Structure 1
Amino acid sequence: MISLNSMSRTCSLCGKTSIVRVSRKKKMSKYNPTCKKRKYPNLQWVVLNNGKRVKACTKCIKKIAKTK
């Protein structure tokens, strides 16, 4: 079963989803443990040529603009 929360945060054109990012903070000569952060793609509502409204990442929006 697919949750609605994860479906709303994916690009409907390329399928790009979130990633987990870990930042490493250095103090003196050692790395301190830091928490993991989830980064989400920059999704925008776009109207396609066929009239459908979909969520697409900005990279896909730029590709659509070039092909028009």
Structure 2
Amino acid sequence: MSKVCQLTGKRPIVGNNVSHSNRKTKRRFLPNLQKKRFFIPETDQWVTLKVCTSAMRTISKLGIYEYLTRLEKEGVDTGVILEQGS
């Protein structure tokens, strides 16, 4: 299972653990990913996304439909097909 946010594209980055004696060993900084179901009332559908918590904050501010349409205009592939419901 890849550790990449579907909406923002955040992925693990590499850094160092630095001990008290200043010895450095490699480590990974993982994004805070959560698997979450969202309901899109405009299209009357549920979508399950693996998103980071910073994307969840943006979704709660803008709304899931608005956020997905903005990403679609920017050319980001989210894996969500926004079809208008009847």
1:36 matched to which residue of 2? 26
Measure the CA separation in 1 of the matches of 2:59 and 2:37: 11
**How many residues matched?**
58
Where in structure 2 are there 5+ consecutive unaligned residues?
A: 64-86
Deviation at 1:26? 5.5
RMSD over aligned Cα atoms: 1.7
| Secondary structure of the structure 1 residue equivalent to 2:57 | helix
Aligned-pair identity (%): 31
Give CA-to-partner distance per residue, 1:5-56, whole Å, 9 cap, x none. 3xx31000011000011133464xxx43x21101110001122324110100
TM-score normalised to the size of structure 2? 0.57
Alignment partner of 2:47 out of 36, 49, 52: 52
Alignment partner of 1:14 out of 8, 30, 35: 8
TM-score normalised to the size of structure 1? 0.70
Where in structure 1 are there 5+ consecutive unaligned residues?
A: none
